[in-house]
Structure formats: structure tokens, C-alpha cells
């Protein structure tokens, strides 16, 4: 075994931007819904319709995201196959979770968003945001995906992109709806939480690479130094995390409309970075040699 030659991994190309958009849309939509549910339960917005509008928005985005999966499959009827093996497939479980979430969200909103249903649907939304990382983690032959940190990153990223999308949606529509004062209040309440989520995500990205490096150092090198490094450093770390953290910190003490402009810019960066995170993770999930201790094992096709 000592003579086994290590494989330099190449980009995974079987799953591309459509699958990344599916994973991103499901996580972001669930994040929008979860943030709006939290507003409905614990904030002064509970007596207004703005929280419920956010819940509708999040549910629609999350439930619409499988459209990219159907597009990738090429034949809409093939999408029904994903429901066939929930006992063995996380893809099937994920589809069922998404359908359950959509139905539960609709019932919750159509019945006036009673507190028990809001709480249950909030829990299901968090599961939706997390399951995409679990789905990728079940694929043992792809060491970057088979990582205990990935579900946590996708959950935190789903929440942060969800808050960004919710903020951006409200800020852009506020002049039309006449809810500027209410929107400013909602945005201010989410600002500290948003900054905390971005900082947590930054730490989790480090641990994702740290854990993956022990099993597949060449794949991690592809992310930080190789073909995926430009998108990783400039879009995910720079535009998607560092710049928004700085802008939100400035916005927290700014006034005179500057806080709104800075928040909108940071929201765009967070959304772009969140989508690119899924792309980089997908492309880095190539089969290659898995380093176990000092011994490289070559994955057999199909595992």
C-alpha cells in the first residue's frame, strides 16, 4: 500500500450551478422563513403583517427551489422518483421534508399564524436549511462533502442569506408600500444577529477546510490555492463575509440613510457569497485519494 500513488483531484462536474441554486434556494428560503417566524414570536413585529409577509416570501422561495433540480434532471416526471426511497436516500428525505415544510407553512399562514404552528414550522424550516449539508455528507467518496461541519455551515449560511434577502426585499419595497419606519425597525433588530451569523460562518469555513485537509489535502489545496481559489477568497470570504461584516458594523452607528445603503450593499454581498459557497463546495467534491493517517486510499468508482 505504501506504493499507492495519490490522485490529484479535479473539479466535480456532474453537479453544476443548477444543483448549487437548488441547495442555495432551499437554504435561503428556509432562512427567510425562520427569521420571520422569530420576529412573529418574540419581537414587536408580532402584531403586524410584515412578519407574515416574510414567512410567505421564505416559503415560496424554498418550495420553488426544487425547480432547479427538476431542470437538472431534464424530465419533470423523473423528479417523482426522488420520493421512492426515503428509508435509504437523503435525497428522498429532503424532498419529503421540503413538501412537508411547504404544506405546513401554507396551513400556518392561512390559519392566521397561530403560535403553536409558527413554532413547529420554524423547526421544520431549520431542518430544511440543514438537510442539504447532510445530503452531501452521506457521500463518503467525496471527502470535502463528507465533513461533520458542512450541515452547520449550510444552516448558518441559510440563516444569514435569508436575513440578507429579507432585508433587501423589505428595503427595496419600503418606499412603495410606505412601511419605511417599520422596515427600518425590523432591519435594526436583525442587524446584530446577522453580524453574529457571518462571524460564526467564517469560523465554520475554517474548520471545514481544517477537517477536510486531514483526509483530502489536495482537494483543500484546490479550494485555497488552485482552480477554485479565486471564487473562494474573493467572493465567499471577501464579498460574502468580510465586507458585509465591516459594512454592517459601520451601519450600526450610521444615520441619515447611509445605514440603509450600507445594509443593502452588504445584503447583496452575503447573497452572492452564499450561492458561491454552494458552488465551491460542489465543485470541490471530486473523487480522489482519501488520506487516512499516512496511507492514501483510492476511492473506487460508484462509492
Residue for grid cell 433588530: 189
The grid coordinates listed for 302 are 460508484
Distances (CA, A) of 232 to 3, 223, 226, 227, 274: 33, 7, 10, 10, 11
Look at the chain and report how many structural domains it folds into: 1
- Whether 10 maps to a domain, the answer reads no
C-alpha span between 55 and 32 (Å, rounded): 7
Helices 258-283 and 243-251 pack at an angle, to 10 degrees, of 160
Tens of each residue's pLDDT in the chain, 303 residues: 444 444 455 677 677 899 899 999 999 999 999 999 999 998 766 566 889 999 999 999 999 998 888 888 776 666 666 666 666 666 677 778 888 999 999 999 999 999 999 999 999 999 999 998 888 887 777 888 889 999 999 999 999 999 999 999 998 888 777 677 778 878 888 899 999 999 999 999 999 999 988 888 888 999 999 999 999 999 999 999 999 999 999 998 887 678 889 999 999 999 999 999 999 999 998 765 544 444 454 444 333
- Whether 154 maps to a domain, the answer reads yes
pLDDT attached to residue 47: 63
- Whether 223 maps to a domain, the answer reads yes
Q: Which residues 6+ apart lie within 8 Å of 121 measured at CB? A: 33, 37, 55, 101, 104, 105, 108
Length of the chain: 303
62 closest CA partner among 204, 165, 177: 165
- Whether 12 maps to a domain, the answer reads no
- Whether 5 maps to a domain, the answer reads no
pLDDT attached to residue 85: 65
pLDDT attached to residue 82: 64
Q: What domain range includes position 131?
A: 17-298
- Whether 74 maps to a domain, the answer reads yes
- Whether 32 maps to a domain, the answer reads yes
CA angle 67, 70, 75 (to 5 degrees): 140
- Whether 149 maps to a domain, the answer reads yes
Q: What is the CATH number of the domain that holds 257?
A: 1.20.1630.10
pLDDT attached to residue 2: 41
Amino acid at each position: 500500500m505504501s506504493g499507492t500513488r495519490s490522485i490529484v483531484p479535479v473539479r466535480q462536474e456532474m453537479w453544476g450551478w443548477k444543483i448549487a441554486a437548488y441547495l442555495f434556494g432551499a437554504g435561503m428560503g428556509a432562512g427567510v422563513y425562520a427569521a420571520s417566524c422569530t420576529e412573529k414570536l418574540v419581537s414587536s413585529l408580532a402584531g403586524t403583517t410584515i412578519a407574515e409577509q416574510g414567512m410567505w416570501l421564505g416559503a415560496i422561495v424554498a418550495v420553488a427551489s426544487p425547480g432547479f433540480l427538476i431542470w437538472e434532471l431534464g424530465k419533470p416526471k423523473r423528479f417523482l422518483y426522488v420520493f421512492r426511497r426515503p428509508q435509504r436516500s437523503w435525497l428522498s428525505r429532503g424532498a419529503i421534508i421540503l413538501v412537508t415544510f411547504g404544506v405546513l407553512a401554507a396551513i400556518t399562514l392561512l390559519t392566521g399564524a397561530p403560535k403553536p404552528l409558527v413554532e413547529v414550522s420554524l423547526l421544520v424550516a431549520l431542518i430544511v436549511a440543514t438537510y442539504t449539508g447532510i445530503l452531501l455528507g452521506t457521500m463518503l467518496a467525496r471527502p470535502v462533502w463528507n465533513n461533520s461541519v458542512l450541515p452547520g455551515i449550510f444552516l448558518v449560511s441559510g440563516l444569514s442569506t435569508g436575513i440578507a434577502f429579507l432585508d433587501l426585499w423589505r428595503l427595496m419595497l419600503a418606499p412603495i408600500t410606505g412601511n419605511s419606519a417599520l422596515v427600518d425597525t425590523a432591519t435594526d433588530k436583525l442587524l446584530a444577529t446577522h453580524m453574529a451569523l457571518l462571524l460564526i460562518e467564517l469560523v465554520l469555513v475554517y474548520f471545514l477546510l481544517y477537517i477536510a485537509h486531514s483526509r483530502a489535502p489536495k482537494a483543500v489545496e484546490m479550494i485555497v490555492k488552485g482552480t477554485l481559489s479565486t471564487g473562494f477568497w474573493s467572493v465567499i470570504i471577501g464579498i460574502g463575509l468580510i465586507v458585509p461584516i465591516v459594512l454592517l458594523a459601520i451601519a450600526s452607528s450610521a444615520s441619515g440613510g447611509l445605514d440603509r445603503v450600507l445594509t443593502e450593499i452588504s445584503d447583496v454581498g452575503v447573497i452572492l457569497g452564499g450561492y458561491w459557497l454552494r458552488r465551491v463546495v460542489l465543485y470541490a467534491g471530486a473523487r480522489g485519494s482519501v488520506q487516512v493517517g499516512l496511507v492514501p486510499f483510492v476511492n473506487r468508482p460508484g462509492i
